[in-house]
Structure formats: structure tokens, C-alpha cells
């Protein structure tokens, strides 16, 4: 008999937070708003109930969480270096193995125009909130 432990609601929430961080912090540094809107329409990194059933064990949920964290950490580095490419691609493959769409290669980010500080994005999280 083999015992497996189901993923927890906290893990599912962490995955949702990491996906939101990708949209609000990472993508605006590399892509214009029109492209990011298209990513949403194409369900890039979209998670549904089906996905949480697919990576329903603790181990599988942790694999998704760690893959998202690694990709985020690589893309947040000051200067992307080619030495990160293999680990980036490995983690993209893990996400795709679990049915999450992440149709990017390292070169999409490495050779892409970094838009940081060039313009504001509607996807970027606000630095502060105005209370009325």
C-alpha cells in the first residue's frame, strides 16, 4: 500500500500568488500590456480546478511551486545570463508536464527588450493606494 498526501489549500493559494506575481512583476518588465493581455486570453499559467486535481499530491504541488519560484528568481535577476538557460528550460518543462501553459523560451526574455522603468503597465501592482 502506498500513502500519498493531497495538496493543501495553502499550496493552491501559493501557486495562484506566484502566477499573479508573474503577471504583475515579471511580464511587465519584458512585454507591453497588449502582449500580456493576449497571454491572459491564451490562458498562460492559467490554473483551474482540473489543474489542482492533476497536481493533487503534496509532491506535485511543491514541484509546481518550486518551478514557478525558480523561473521568477531567474527573470528577476539584474542581468540575465546564458548560464541560467538550462535550469529555466527544465522548470518550464515541469510546468508544462503538469498542464500549465508557459509558451516561452529563455531567449524570449534574454533577447527581449526589458521595459523596466520605460513605461507604466496596467498589470504592475500599485506602489500605494489612494483612499477616498
Q: What are phi and psi of 102, to 5 degrees?
A: -140, 80
Helix, strand or coil for residue 6?
strand
Higher-confidence residue of 59 and 90: namely 90
Higher-confidence residue of 37 and 118: namely 37
Contacts of 37 (CB under 8 A, 6+ apart): none
The pLDDT value recorded for residue 129 is 58
Higher-confidence residue of 2 and 59: namely 59
Q: What is the mean pLDDT of the segment spanning 102-120?
A: 73
* Residue ranges covered by each domain of the chain: 11-110
CB-count exposure of residue 39 (10 Å: 0-12, 13-18, 19+): buried
Contacts of 47 (CB under 8 A, 6+ apart): 12, 15, 16, 19, 100
47 confidence band (pLDDT: 50, 70, 90):
confident
The pLDDT value recorded for residue 117 is 47
Amino acid at each position: 500500500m502506498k500513502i500519498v498526501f493531497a495538496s493543501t489549500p495553502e499550496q493552491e493559494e501559493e501557486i495562484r500568488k506566484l502566477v499573479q506575481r508573474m503577471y504583475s512583476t515579471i511580464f511587465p518588465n519584458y512585454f507591453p500590456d497588449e502582449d500580456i493581455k493576449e497571454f491572459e486570453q491564451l490562458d498562460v499559467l492559467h490554473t483551474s480546478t482540473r489543474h489542482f486535481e492533476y497536481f493533487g499530491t503534496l509532491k506535485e504541488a511543491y514541484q509546481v511551486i518550486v518551478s514557478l519560484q525558480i523561473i521568477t528568481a531567474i527573470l528577476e535577476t539584474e542581468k540575465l545570463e546564458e548560464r541560467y538557460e538550462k535550469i529555466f528550460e527544465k522548470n518550464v518543462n515541469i510546468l508544462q508536464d503538469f498542464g500549465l501553459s508557459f509558451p516561452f523560451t529563455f531567449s524570449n526574455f534574454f533577447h527581449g527588450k526589458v521595459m523596466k522603468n520605460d513605461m507604466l503597465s496596467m498589470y504592475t501592482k500599485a506602489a500605494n493606494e489612494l483612499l477616498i
